[in-house]
A and B are shown apart, each in its own frame.
Chain A
Amino acid sequence: MSSVLVSRLPNDIGGDPAGRVEQVDHVLEPWEKRCHALADVLDFHKIINTEEKRRGVEALGSEMIGKLSYYERWIVAFANILFQKGILTPAQLAFKMAEVEKRWTCASPP
């Protein structure tokens, strides 16, 4: 039944069987809140709008959607969309991530 994979993309779950609604919630981590603010600012500046973000998450595929948390999916989708739009390159992001990690490692307690 591979046709289901075509007719129902990973986000399209309305009507699917699923378990009980557990009334879970959590206070956002500071980086998660920054990620949300980043999404809004990207939308304000017409760099990535809400629907592009949603499709960007969907394009991660069902395995990543299943294994990454909500804001983890967002930031990875943003990176991919920025690559596609030619705003950033993977190499630039990799170098910047290494720089940030080094900066924080030096600043953190042992």
Chain B
Amino acid sequence: MEHSSDHAPHAHDHDEIAIAGHAGYYEIMETAVRELLVDRGLFGADEIRHQIEVLDSRTPALGAAVVARAWLDPAFRSRLLANGRAACEELGVTFYDDTQLIVLENTATVHNLIVCTLCSCYPRPLLGLPPDWYKLKPYRARAVIEPRAVLAEFGTVIADDVEIRVSDSTAMVRYLVLPRRPDGTDSYSEQQLAALVTRDSMIGVIPVLLKNGVQAP
């Protein structure tokens, strides 16, 4: 991106697309670390590019497909609860890291919530990257000590006779909530069911709702 003088007559002031005008200290550090390691031959520049594609390919739609299948196929549901990772891999969801997955089933008597108190561990192969609130202090600090109050801040009220279980993720063990299937969805196709399942319902901060916003009893 040389700025030679023959560019000058082209006088409109559109933003340059190629490189941001003011790279910050940490952005420079990221690029420097990456280039030094590539220069050493520790990995290829193409690996970073490829991993960005992998990250971009992961969205909550993958988790939603797993949930919808579990609602419709009891044998799959059993395998999912027995070994989350292996069951997801059956559906073609690859785990690009060496984490294990434990799937936690919500029932009439148990509501599950996931958190990472120490940092930001999250079932990224299935849901993509976590939202900022999941990584910030209020959720991490409070989910384990006052989950009902935290849930209420998401508009979720869990009956007092329903047990709330909070599972704290680690570097190696990640959790996914299998939400309850809403009533009134008997005629739904797998795709229609999957469309109801949101990221937040698989974290456990909300139930799965019908499209009209009516909460499943």
Q: Is A63 an interface residue (CB 8 A)?
A: no
B33 cross-chain contacts in A, Cβ below 8 A: 38, 75, 78-79, 82, 88, 93, 96
Give the contact stretch, choosing among B44-52, B86-94, B178-186, B208-216. B44-52
B138 cross-chain contacts in A, Cβ below 8 A: 18-22
Q: Is B108 an interface residue (CB 8 A)?
A: no
A109 cross-chain contacts in B, Cβ below 8 A: 3, 16, 21
Q: What range describes how many residues of A lie at the interface?
A: 35 or more
Contact indicator per residue, chain B 154-176, by CB within 8 Å of chain A (1) or not (0): 10000000000000100110000
Given contacts A34-B30, A54-B171, A101-B23, contact A14 B145 (CB under 8 A): yes
Given contacts A38-B34, A109-B16, contact A13 B137 (CB under 8 A): yes
Task: Among A13, A28, A41, A69, point to the contact of B117 (Cβ < 8 A).
Answer: A13
**CA of A28 to CA of B202 in the docked complex: distance in angstroms?**
22
In the complex, residue of chain A having the shortest beta-carbon distance to the beta carbon of B145: A15
In the complex, residue of chain A having the shortest beta-carbon distance to the beta carbon of B35: A96
Could you tell me if B3 and A25 are in contact, using CB atoms closer than 8 angstroms?
A: no
**CA of A57 to CA of B121 in the docked complex: distance in angstroms?**
14
Could you tell me if B34 and A22 are in contact, using CB atoms closer than 8 angstroms?
A: no
B22 cross-chain contacts in A, Cβ below 8 A: 108
Could you tell me if A107 and B18 are in contact, using CB atoms closer than 8 angstroms?
A: yes
**CA of A87 to CA of B38 in the docked complex: distance in angstroms?**
12
CB distance from B168 to the nearest CB of A (A): 7
Could you tell me if A28 and B129 are in contact, using CB atoms closer than 8 angstroms?
A: yes
A87 cross-chain contacts in B, Cβ below 8 A: 37, 40, 42
Interface residues of A in 21-40 (CB under 8 A from B): 21-26, 28-29, 31, 33-38, 40
Contact indicator per residue, chain A 57-77, by CB within 8 Å of chain B (1) or not (0): 100000000001111100110
Could you tell me if A23 and B16 are in contact, using CB atoms closer than 8 angstroms?
A: no
In the complex, residue of chain A having the shortest beta-carbon distance to the beta carbon of B16: A109
Q: B1, B33, B48, B142: which has the most chain A beta carbons within 10 Å? A: B33
**CA of A21 to CA of B168 in the docked complex: distance in angstroms?**
17
Task: Among A15, A20, A37, A71, point to the contact of B48 (Cβ < 8 A).
Answer: A37
Could you tell me if A34 and B34 are in contact, using CB atoms closer than 8 angstroms?
A: yes
**CA of A45 to CA of B98 in the docked complex: distance in angstroms?**
12
Q: Is B11 an interface residue (CB 8 A)?
A: no
Q: Is B76 an interface residue (CB 8 A)?
A: no
Q: A14, A35, A43, A96: which has the most chain B beta carbons within 10 Å? A: A14
10 closest A-B pairs by CB: A14-B117, A37-B51, A18-B141, A96-B32, A50-B171, A31-B27, A107-B1, A25-B131, A16-B141, A51-B171
Since A29-B27, A97-B29 are in contact, a sample of 18 more A-B pairs with Cβ atoms closer than 8 Å, ordered by chain A residue number, is A13-B141, A14-B140, A22-B133, A22-B136, A23-B131, A31-B27, A34-B31, A38-B30, A45-B42, A68-B26, A75-B30, A79-B33, A88-B33, A96-B32, A97-B32, A107-B18, A107-B19, A108-B1
